[in-house]
Each structure stands twice: as structure tokens, then as C-alpha cells.
Copies of this chain bind each other. A is one copy, B any other.
Amino acid sequence: MAPPPSTVVSPVVVLMVRLLTFICLLISMIILTTNTENVALQFGEVKIRFNDVYAYRYMLATIVIGFAYTLLQTAFTIFQVSTGNRLAGGCLYQFDFYGDKVISYMLATGSAAGFGATIDLRSGLLGFGSFFNKANAAASILLIGFFFSAVSSVFSALALPKRG
């Protein structure tokens, strides 16, 4: 069996994907945390905020952790693009590989928990349509952010130093 051709990805492409992840997480975080709605009911006004729904709290937690990690990785990659050297040498490849894997799984679960809560709560709480639509938008953008982080995870697996 012939080994496949070398598949090391250009650091500029890596940086682009990290930046796209970063932007998606930022937009998702802003939409989610500013999402409040006042609904007038018979007995008075009810205010609903994102942290009234447990799934959205979990979603925010995954966004914040993913945001911090992506910021760190973006800084590392900018350093690599500008100097041509990989900071801290080979051990960072392992950190990238496991870090990207864990963070991309986390973002996937954050987005899925958001969707899972939204779709079934919305049908029960029809008056809060706009609130759940915004939450859906945040979960969708988080899903896009997850796709980019999954691409980063593939890149970091392909970039693992050759073994054997």
C-alpha cells in the first residue's frame, strides 16, 4: 500500500478557519446573551431571558470556553504565520489535536442542546416565538462555528507528526 501524498495544510488556511470559528462564536454569543423578551399575559407581563432555559446556559458555557480556546489558537497561528515557526515545537501538535477535538465536540453539543430545547419548548410556549427564533439563530450560527472547528480538528489530525 502506497502512503497518501503529504497533506499538511498551509498555516494561512488554518488561520482563516480559526478566524471564521472565532467570528461565528462571537456573533452567536452576542445574539444569545442579548436575547430577552417581554410578553404581556392576562395576569401581567412576563420577562424571559436566555438564562431561564438551562439548555441555553449550557450553550453559553460551550461558546465561552470555545471562544477562549479559539482566541488562544488564533494567537498561536498568527505567530506561526508571521514568523514561520511553530511556538513550543512538537508538543503543540498534540495539544492542537486533542484540544480541537474536545472543543469541537463541545461546540457540537452546545448547538444541539440549544436546538433540542428550542424546537420542543417553542411549540409549548407560542407567545414567545421571537425569543425562541433568536435562540434558534444563535444555535444555527454556533452550528456553523462548530463546522469550522471540526475542519480545524481535521487539519490538526492531519498535521500530527509522522509516526513509525
Contact = CB atoms under 8 A, between A and B. Distances in A.
Interface of A: 1-8, 53-55, 58, 89-90, 94, 97-98, 101, 104-105, 108-117, 119-121, 124, 150, 153-154, 157-158, 160-164
10 contacts: A4-B163, A6-B163, A53-B120, A54-B119, A55-B119, A101-B154, A105-B108, A108-B112, A117-B120, A120-B121
List 6 A-B pairs, minimum CB-CB distance, nearest first: A113-B116, A116-B116, A109-B112, A55-B116, A112-B112, A1-B90
Nearest to A59: B116
A140 to B, nearest CB: 13
Contacts of A105: 104-105, 108, 150
